[in-house]
Amino acid sequence: MLAAVSTQSARTALMVAAYRARATARKDAICMDPYATALAGDDGQAIAKAYDAVYPHMELWIAVRTAFIDGLVGRFGALGQIVILGAGFDTRSARLARPGVRFFEVDQEEVQKAKRARLAAIGGYPDKATYVTCNFEKEDFLDRLSAERFDASTPALFIWEGVTPYLTEAAVRSTLRRIAQRAHEASVLVFDHLRRKIVVGDVQNPKDLESRAFVADLGEPLRFGIDYPLPMLYEEGFRKVRALTFDEICLDATGTYDRERAFRFQGVVLASRTTAL
Ligand SMILES: C[S@@+](CC[C@H](N)C(=O)[O-])C[C@H]1O[C@@H](n2cnc3c(N)ncnc32)[C@H](O)[C@@H]1O
């Protein structure tokens, strides 16, 4: 019996886990998360099923995003520390564990509690993560990480996946600033973002408005969107920036572009102070 997830904040995270589960089960799977089905549970699957009717491309988006970031863990994992910000039901610490690499998961207390309750209920999960609670709107995740033996004097890979749309611009900027100014200069950050239009509702297609309303109804309204993130990253201290469209990483992952501009609102960014990206 899975632990009930009572918090509103965990519902988008559950939905994403459900999409990862479905993507993993495909014959031509782009990403692999063997724990996602158990973590998502029937409630996660039900949310994903309801969202399909609004935005049928979400499973592909999540599959490509997961695979792209998994690839970065392979590329930058040797940095030795991987910090997953807004981790939700992330399972990389189990799936991508390797000797000498520490994984930290940062999330709101209630979401983390819900995840850990589910992990305990499914059993057999090789739980290697160090858990740190933080609300990015009002707390300092780097102080909290340091209290858990995160070493800011050595580089880290920071993963911030599917989180920025739900934060205020102030929280997005303070998170960027902390990484740029207080983590080791060779640290690397990856995050995804939405464009401003969809966040503020300046869209013509009723389906886009429906999609925006759906996530708000899950308890996490869209709050932050940006079209061209490079100036913000520069202002907050990064000097190496690579901004990609989702179409680019989707083309890499699938070899096709036949999606009728389904990913026109999504972007992915890699940033560092000194590491070439
Ligand atoms: C859509 S889920 C993504 C979860 C996970 N990164 C993934 O891709 O599967 C959004 C995550 O952001 C977290 N989040 C939202 N607002 C937050 C805040 N103010 N402080 C900390 N985490 C937050 C939620 O708790 C949730 O885990």
**In this predicted structure, what is the pLDDT of residue 7?**
52
The mean pLDDT of 120-131, rounded to a whole number, is: 92
Average pLDDT, the chain: 94
Does the CB atom of residue 163 touch ligand 1 within 6 A?
A: yes
138 CA → ligand 1 middle, Å: 14
pLDDT in tens, 129-176: 999 999 999 999 999 999 999 999 999 999 999 999 999 999 999 999
The mean pLDDT of 1-26, rounded to a whole number, is: 82
Cα distance between residue 46 and residue 51, in whole Å: 9
- For the cut 70, the answer to whether the pLDDT of residue 265 exceeds it is yes
Percent of the chain surpassing pLDDT 70: 97
Cα distance between residue 162 and residue 17, in whole Å: 12
pLDDT confidence bin for 3, thresholds 50/70/90: low
Instruction: Using alpha carbons, list the distances in angstroms from residue 206 to 91, 214, 225, 238, 258.
Output: 34, 12, 19, 37, 21
Cα distance between residue 70 and residue 68, in whole Å: 5
- Residue 234's φ and ψ, nearest 5 degrees, are -60, -45
**In this predicted structure, what is the pLDDT of residue 8?**
62
What single-letter amino acid sits at 45? Q
Cα distance between residue 183 and residue 273, in whole Å: 10
Nearest CA to ligand 1 atom 21: 135
Does the CB atom of residue 87 touch ligand 1 within 6 A?
A: yes
Does the CB atom of residue 70 touch ligand 1 within 6 A?
A: no
Does the CB atom of residue 108 touch ligand 1 within 6 A?
A: yes
Tokens read off for 44: 């996660």
Does the CB atom of residue 33 touch ligand 1 within 6 A?
A: no
44 CA → ligand 1 middle, Å: 15
Pick the range with the lowest mean pLDDT from 102-111, 119-128, 141-150, 230-239. 119-128
pLDDT confidence bin for 257, thresholds 50/70/90: confident
Cα distance between residue 125 and residue 123, in whole Å: 6
Cα distance between residue 238 and residue 236, in whole Å: 6
State whether the Cα torsion 256-58-163-44 is positive or negative.
negative
pLDDT in tens, 35-56: 999 999 999 999 999 999 999 9
- For the cut 70, the answer to whether the pLDDT of residue 5 exceeds it is no
